[in-house]
């Protein structure tokens, strides 16, 4: 489908502008096995539609989310997929980060395309040690790219300066029509200039934007839903990828429909006024 040629750049790779988010799939802070088969089917459905980015983390379901991603990708061409995972701050540090990455790769059953520091934590020394450990994991082939998550502009710059051999290629942050702090803080513009991908989580504000009548009115002009307008607002930016949660097949299909078209500048401005 042409809609799924809506691609963004991460490092030297091209990924779909909409990815599959897995927060809550397989549990939240502890494993939940009650919907495993359904969750795997939903993820596989997204991959079959042509979405190629899956975002997960060791923290999600205490690692069970990664196990479900590992199940979902079986039978697909691994080189066509882009898997993102994250190390939790309690595992920051040179040795701990390496152990955490290896454990994540084992649960996934494969290497990790993009490995992120999930939150800044409270120690710059630990952040720096972790970044240097991840550079060694790139050399080993366990991960391919290094990124951060929930880093503000100052901490992102500092992390860039700390890198010895590789670059920070992504920063995953909360970003939606309702919460546009990456725009107002200068983070988005800086990341554009530096060619760093911004991966936007909670892009639909837990479904509240899907129920916005103003966005629905804009969407009617394009034959799209309020959710699709809210997602398209984000991916309109050249370096932004959105990762709505892949909870149900129909939601994945609707999310995928946010790709392959763009709001006009006028309608994008109108969308800002809807929230």
Angle at 47 between CA 19 and CA 34, to 5 degrees: 90
The string of DSSP codes covering 187-236 is HHHHHHHHT-EEEEESTTGGGTGGG-HHHHHHHHHHT--HHHHHHHHHHT
Q: How far is CA 152 from CA 27, 85, 93, 191, 240, in A?
A: 28, 19, 20, 11, 16
> Is 70 exceeded by the pLDDT of residue 163?
yes
Q: How many CB atoms lie within 10 A of CB 217?
A: 13
125 neighbors 94 (Cβ within 8 angstroms): no
CA dist 234 and 244 (Å) reads 11
CA dist 204 and 230 (Å) reads 7
pLDDT single digits (tens) 115-137: 999 999 999 999 999 999 999 99
Record the pTM: 0.97
- Active-site residue, from 33, 60, 94, 201: 60
Q: Name which of 18, 3, 64, 6 is nearest 72 in CA terms.
A: 64
pLDDT single digits (tens) 130-160: 999 999 999 999 999 999 999 999 999 999 9
> Is 70 exceeded by the pLDDT of residue 198?
yes
175 neighbors 167 (Cβ within 8 angstroms): no
60 is catalytic: yes
> Is 70 exceeded by the pLDDT of residue 48?
yes
Sign of CA dihedral 237, 239, 240, 246: positive
Domain boundaries, the chain: 7-206+233-252
Assign domain 7-206+233-252 to its CATH superfamily.
NADP-dependent oxidoreductase domain (3.20.20.100)
């Amino acid at each position: 489908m042409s809609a799924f040629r809506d691609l963004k750049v991460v490092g030297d790779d091209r990924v779909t502008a909409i990815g599959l988010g897995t927060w809550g799939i397989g549990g939240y802070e502890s494993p939940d096995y009650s919907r495993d088969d359904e969750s795997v089917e939903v993820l596989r459905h997204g991959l079959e539609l042509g979405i190629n980015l899956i975002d997960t983390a060791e923290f999600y379901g205490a690692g069970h989310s990664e196990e479900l991603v590992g199940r979902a990708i079986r039978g697909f061409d691994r080189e066509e997929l882009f898997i993102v995972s994250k190390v939790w701050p309690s595992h920051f540090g040179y040795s701990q980060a390496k152990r955490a990455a290896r454990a994540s790769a084992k649960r996934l059953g494969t290497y990790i395309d993009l490995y992120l520091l999930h939150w800044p934590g409270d120690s710059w020394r630990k952040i720096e040690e972790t970044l240097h450990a991840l550079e060694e994991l790139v050399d080993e082939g366990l991960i391919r790219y290094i990124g951060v998550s929930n880093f503000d502009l100052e901490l992102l710059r500092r992390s860039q300066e700390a890198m010895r051999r590789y670059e920070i290629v992504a920063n995953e942050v909360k970003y939606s029509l309702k919460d546009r702090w990456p725009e107002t803080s200068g983070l988005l513009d800086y990341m554009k200039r530096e060619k760093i991908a911004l991966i936007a989580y909670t892009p639909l504000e837990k479904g509240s934007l899907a129920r916005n009548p103003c966005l629905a009115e804009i969407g009617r002009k394009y034959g799209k839903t309020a959710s699709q307008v809210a997602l398209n607002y984000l991916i309109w930016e050249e370096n932004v990828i959105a990762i709505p949660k892949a909870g149900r097949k129909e939601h994945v299909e609707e999310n995928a429909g946010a790709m392959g078209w763009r709001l006009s500048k006028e309608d994008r401005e109108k969308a800002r006024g809807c929230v």
